[in-house]
Chains A and B, each alone.
Chain A
């Protein structure tokens, strides 16, 4: 459930630049019209960020943090994980990671963190410029890594860090867990008031929770269109179109965007327009994308007539949304944010994957074992085995990394994928 959105952002830097037209891949259906709108929104958002520094308080936020609570304070939010994905897609991962390594960060550490620290030390970024933060806001509902990483930032930048601590759900969530998280919300209000110079407005928070929920629900409906055969988009599209739900969550813009996207997708479904021309097999993706290989993989699978129709990853921003309730904003956010896939036990993950496989009529599963992301990856070998036992779904594991391409072996991956394609046909 980490952040992304790189492909869309890759587009941004191309705006205004005359690039050679890329020859359209004959395996794909017509491109989504909404992509243009997404680019506009994200360009605007990133343009604004250049003026935010000094004008508005800026927070660097982890992808799983309950950002709604920052919104009433007018805090401008930046997502380093999103930036990491962008650097990955731009193939700048190794370069920025190496900078962090020069400062003593071991190459075994999460590459989003290394990219971010590398950016901190060197100022290098493909995104123009990231506004310097006044506040760090992290939640360990996606990993403990973000806590270590943001702690380092807090030490270097000498700015406050708010950690939203979400007890891991080894079993069912308890009342005590919920009250702990609700109390943390109450404790962070005075800090946020101080950083922003604004008084907390409860009614505004309710409003943001409501909009955030509506946007997430709409995002869920967007994903659900891929239940159709052929699916109107691929998960590689979704990896890009999820940027607003991650980094503009709670803002009306995100909701408006997903409504537009949803109607386009429904239109495609009603006309039987698929993302790829010949959808022979339907696949599920597990874990964060391999950002530097997105384009290659997208063509490779399309060429095989295989389409990714669902992913545990994109689903993470829709899965727990129904818990959100503007009438009990803190309590409901505690539940929604604590029960996300990576903070929930592996049994519930297995059940979730079984459900997705059935609902989306999945024929095969590609599991990205991401060196950077232990909470997402530890347990995948057993998941693979259990899903085969229970549903006889063939699957393949790719050992790779989200952005550090130095940990990726083209040859090894190719061999594994080819074997998988053969198994799918057999």
Chain B
């Protein structure tokens, strides 16, 4: 389907409200992380939000790894 319109994409296909709730920002072990909830009560790391370069070297909190609270 091709839409010939100047309307912005997100106005035509609005995002599901629930999608906004999936991601959250947490501080885990002193490292600010952006996480996404997975099915089995775990959280997957999406992004490390810290400004400290050392925090990016932690294998445990690398994006994609799972953490649980």
Q: Do A and B come from one complex?
A: no
